[in-house]
Amino acid sequence: MADHPNAELFKRGYAAFQQGDLDTVRELFDSNIVWHVPGHNHTSGDHVGVDNVLALFGSNFQETNGTFKVEPHDILANDSHAVALATVSGEKDGKTLSDRYTHIVHMSNGKVTESWIFDENPDKVDEFWG
């Protein structure tokens, strides 16, 4: 059975992100996307608009000297949502991160419009990003 088109779109986004292809990621995001980052660190909060979200991603790569990675284990979707079960990892300032998370997005007209990430160990993620 073929994956739902929104699952395919989400997989394409994860693959592009891993390759640092933020132009493709931009194409998959609504221009007014809202990216909710949980926690209590300098990346936390609501990032509104595709340029701000891509700046966040660029910062993630820069702060970790390119070691920031996400590895999806499974992606599920329907007409309005997609969910990724994934692992995030990276190295920064002598610290390492490896944590599982659930990523939920709203989708409309073939674009990601809103995003939430729920970390398994939010305290570890906060400590990593500082």
| pLDDT, tens digit (0-9, with 9 covering 90-100), for 85-101 | 999 999 999 999 999 99
CATH of the domain at 120: 3.10.450.50
Distance in angstroms (rounded) separating the CA atoms of residues 82 and 112: 9
Distance in angstroms (rounded) separating the CA atoms of residues 6 and 28: 10
pLDDT at 2: 75
Single-letter code of the amino acid located at 64: T
Residue 34's pLDDT band, with cuts at 50, 70 and 90, is very high
Q: How many domains does the chain have?
A: 1
For residue range 2-17, list pLDDT tens digits in order. 799 999 999 999 999 9
Q: Which domain holds residue 84?
A: 5-129
Contact 107, 113 (CB under 8 A): yes
Percentage of residues in the chain having pLDDT higher than 70: 99
Q: Which two tokens stand for residue 124?
A: 């570890």
Residue 31's pLDDT band, with cuts at 50, 70 and 90, is very high
Please determine, for residue 111, whether its predicted confidence score (pLDDT) is greater than 90: yes
pLDDT at 120: 98
Scored b (16 or more CB within 10 A) or e, 3-16 reads ebebbebbbebbeb
* pTM of the complete model: 0.94
For residues 65-72, average pLDDT? 96
Distance in angstroms (rounded) separating the CA atoms of residues 18 and 106: 21
pLDDT at 1: 65
